[in-house]
């Protein structure tokens, strides 16, 4: 900015010294400035985007952010662009700062905890007593668990009847938000729930699909009848 101001002063003073009218110099400077602005509008947009990022500080170098379908660590905030190292693929992504200012940025690095929401599906033929047997050990495993914030106690509920299963929903929060420690804890919780289900003879519901074939090549609806012996009749 100082260089631009100094160049303008030198231009005007030098022209006045050589005898050019000030109005001519100003008009020339205006035309030249317009040409420069049109040719460098991308750079100017990037510069204003950089200023907005530095003033608003939605993220800093080292923060993990999710923006424009990219999830990664901020490695550099330059005058024109921001460089992000993607979390899973380790690719370096460069995004212009004017796009960063217009995009919705999710700053994952500044979260206070990691939340897990998990649904366990139990077969529909499971007795009610087995559902109660399933809830008790899950609540016991998560009672005062590692990384628990007293303001966010775990929640375990038999919350829904699905078309093909009973649903048990598990919600808990882990802090501090260290991702690999969180994954280790989730693995221990999963194994303990698995062991408790095996002990009580409780099964996990699996997706079930029935396929029926027509024995002729004629178009028309497929009729399926169920007999009293719970065997599927031949399709018509």
Q: How confident is the model over 20-62, as pLDDT tens digits?
A: 565 665 566 566 565 555 555 666 777 778 888 888 889 999 9
Does the structural domain 117-200 have CATH classification 1.20.140.10? no
Banded model confidence at residue 119, pLDDT cuts 50, 70, 90: very high
Q: Which residue has the tokens 């408790």?
A: 196
44-110 is classed in which CATH architecture? Roll (2.30)
Residue 174: count other Cβ atoms within 10 Å of its Cβ. 24
Please give the Cα distance from 231 to 228 (Å, whole number): 7
Q: Which phi and psi (to 5°) does residue 3 adopt?
A: -65, -40
Q: Which of 31-40, 174-183, 226-235 has the lowest mean pLDDT?
A: 226-235
Please give the Cα distance from 29 to 21 (Å, whole number): 12
Q: Quick one: pLDDT at residue 138?
A: 93
Please give the Cα distance from 20 to 234 (Å, whole number): 102
Please give the Cα distance from 14 to 29 (Å, whole number): 13
Please give the Cα distance from 101 to 151 (Å, whole number): 34
* Residue 72 in tokens: 């990664």
Q: Which residue has the tokens 């510069």?
A: 47
pLDDT in tens, 143-175: 999 999 899 999 999 999 998 899 999 999 999
Domain ranges for the chain: 44-110, 117-200
Q: Quick one: pLDDT at residue 231?
A: 45
């Amino acid at each position: 900015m100082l260089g631009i101001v100094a160049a303008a002063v030198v231009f005007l003073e030098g022209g006045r010294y050589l005898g050019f009218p000030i109005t001519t110099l100003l008009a020339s400077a205006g035309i030249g400035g317009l040409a420069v602005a049109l040719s460098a509008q991308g750079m100017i947009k990037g510069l204003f985007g950089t200023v907005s990022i530095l003033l608003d500080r939605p993220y800093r170098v080292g923060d993990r952010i999710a923006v424009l379908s990219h999830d990664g660590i901020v490695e550099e905030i330059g005058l024109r662009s921001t460089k992000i190292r993607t979390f899973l693929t380790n690719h370096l992504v460069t995004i212009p700062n004017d796009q960063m200012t217009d995009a919705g940025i999710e700053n994952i690095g500044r979260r206070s905890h990691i939340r897990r929401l998990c649904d366990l599906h139990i077969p529909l033929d499971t007795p009610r007593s087995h559902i109660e047997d399933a809830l008790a050990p899950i609540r016991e495993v998560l009672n005062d668990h590692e990384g628990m914030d007293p303001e966010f106690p775990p929640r375990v509920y038999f919350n829904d009847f699905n078309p093909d299963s009973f649903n048990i929903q598990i919600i808990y929060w882990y802090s501090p938000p260290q991702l690999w420690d969180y994954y280790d804890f989730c693995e221990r919780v999963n194994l303990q729930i698995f062991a408790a289900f095996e002990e009580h003879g409780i099964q996990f519901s699996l997706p079930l699909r029935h396929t029926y074939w027509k024995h002729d090549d004629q178009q028309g609806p497929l009729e399926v009848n169920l007999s009293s012996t719970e065997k599927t009749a031949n399709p018509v």
